[in-house]
Amino acid sequence: MAHALGALASVSPSVAADASLRKTGFKINNNLSYNNKLWIPLSPVNLKSRFSSTKYRCKVVSMSVQQTVRSKIPVQPLELENAKEPPLNLYKPKEPYTATIVSVERLVGPNAPGETCHIVIDHGSNVPYWEGQSYGVIPPGENPKKPGSPQNVRLYSIASTRYGDSFDGKTTSLCVRRAVYYDAETGKEDPSKNGVCSNFLCDSKPGDKILLTGPSGKIMLLPEEDPNATHIMIATGTGVAPFRGYLRRMFMEAVPTYKFGGLAWLFLGVANSDSLLYDDEFTGYLKDYPDNFRYDKALSREQKNKSGGKMYVQDKIEEYSDEIFKLLDGGAHIYFCGLKGMMPGIQETLKRVAEERGESWDTKLSQLKKNKQWHVEVY
């Protein structure tokens, strides 16, 4: 494949002129060649609106006729690449790290129910992490249950690679859904009961300070011993966060010590097409790495399953169950991330499929767990 490894990505004049790109700290050269196509989604700014603008659409057309495979972004390997274990709990609730918000952008379109934001945080290389870990955030204010004490820590899955969206190891990105409370009787929003931390994050502005703990978590780390392994990722909503990190590591960054040659298969469940998260990045991988990436979406309010009901991720899993079971038998890793409520339906589907195949799901599940193929992080 035509990856221009080791070369700085060249950008078109209008993209280079985009202040948001410079804001990320991403290095650009002044060569206006179109040979190395820039990964536009690296900018944390205007992730959704940028792709729908006429200007952007024109740009894609003019560049894609020149080259079909985008260059990977070269990164200067961090020391983290040589570590045997991930960093863990470098900052604790009593002594959190004070980081700075770089940008907050709405990720979803106007017809999405609710709001999800992409938040880039500058930690100045002081809170390093591996893909699949989480940060803790301590929102400002007093803990209502313990007057005089700070708010409790809320965890957020990290949505970037260890290099961050700035590709220099100094930033972290989070994918946060604003928790809004609707009164069950009136159906009206009650702002006094809205989620504290998610609203603080989605309302924050560049330059605001934010208290971080962590990083934490080992269950969702991306196993890298075998660069040709299969990774089946099942996400609902913001559960896509760790998978965005995995996929950028696999397909966007040129990391000298990690060259992915396996299969990554993402199942993403959201309400409708306006609710899709990072769809442009994923669609880009699909075009450039068709042998290494698969991407299936379940849009519950737009698509119907085979029984005429709403299309959920478990319906997509069922559709591809033969392949999924074969891949698991061959040692594939399977990951689940998102709301807790996703798991019962998925487990039922997997159990039913196993039984139809004459297998015991309980035995299979304990085998998958024993082999460290089964990774679940739901909240």
- Smallest distance from the beta carbon of 233 to ligand FAD, in angstroms? 14
175 in contact with ligand FAD (CB under 6 A): yes
Please, what is the minimum distance in Å from the beta carbon of residue 219 to ligand FAD? 9
Please report, as residue ranges, which positions from 92 to 151 form the binding site for ligand FAD (by CB under 6 A). 134
On whether 21 is known to bind a ligand per the annotation, the reply is no
Q: Min. distance of Cβ 303 from ligand FAD in angstroms?
A: 24
Q: Which of 93, 109, 150, 195 binds ligand FAD (CB under 6 A)?
A: 195
70 binding ligand FAD? (CB under 6 A): no
> Which positions ≥6 away from 66 have C-beta within 8 Å?
34, 35, 37
Residue nearer to ligand FAD on the CB measure, 128 or 139: 139
Which stretch, 71-79, 188-196, 284-292, 340-348, contacts ligand FAD (CB under 6 A)? 188-196
The reply, when asked if residue 106 is annotated as ligand binding, is no
182 forms part of the interface with ligand FAD (CB under 6 A): no
Interaction between residue 328 and ligand FAD (CB under 6 A): no
Q: Considering the rule CB under 6 A, would residue 375 count as an interface residue with ligand FAD?
A: no
The yes-or-no answer on residue 85 being catalytic is no
157 is in an annotated binding site: yes
Q: Which residue in 32, 124, 146, 181 binds ligand FAD (CB under 6 A)?
A: 181
Query: Could you say which of 103, 157, 216, 275 is catalytic?
Result: 157
Candidate residues 8, 78, 101, 179; the one interacting with ligand FAD per rule CB under 6 A: 179
Amino acid, res. 265 = W
63 within 8 A of 79, measured Cβ to Cβ = no
For residue 240, state whether it binds ligand FAD (rule: CB under 6 A). no
Does 15 bind ligand FAD (CB under 6 A)? Our answer is no
Identify whether 105 is a catalytic site residue: no
134 is in an annotated binding site: no
Task: Please say whether the beta carbons of 188 and 179 come within 8 A.
Answer: no
Judged by CB under 6 A, does residue 253 bind ligand FAD?
A: no
In the complex with ligand FAD, which residue's Cβ is closer, 41 or 74? 41
310 is in an annotated binding site: yes
CB 122 within 8 A of CB 169: no
Catalytic position from the list 91, 156, 246, 312: 156
Tell me, yes or no, if 285 is annotated catalytic: no
Cα–Cα distance measured from residue 35 to residue 347, given in angstroms and rounded to the nearest whole number: 46
Using CB under 6 A, count the residues that bind ligand FAD.
Answer: 21
Contact between 80 and ligand FAD (CB under 6 A)? no
What residue is closest to ligand FAD based on CB? 195
Q: Decide if residue 221 touches ligand FAD (CB under 6 A).
A: no
Task: Write out the binding residues for ligand FAD, residues 269-298 only, by CB under 6 A.
Answer: none
| CB crowding 148-181: b at 16 or more within 10 Å, else e | eebbebbbbbbbbbbbbbbbbbbbbbbbbbbebe
Strand partners, 171: 122
Binding residues for NADP(+): 157, 177, 238, 300-301, 310, 338-339, 377
Q: Which residues are catalytic?
A: 156-157, 337, 377, 379
By CB under 6 A, name the binding residues for ligand FAD: 134, 154-157, 175-177, 179, 181, 193-199, 238, 241, 377, 379
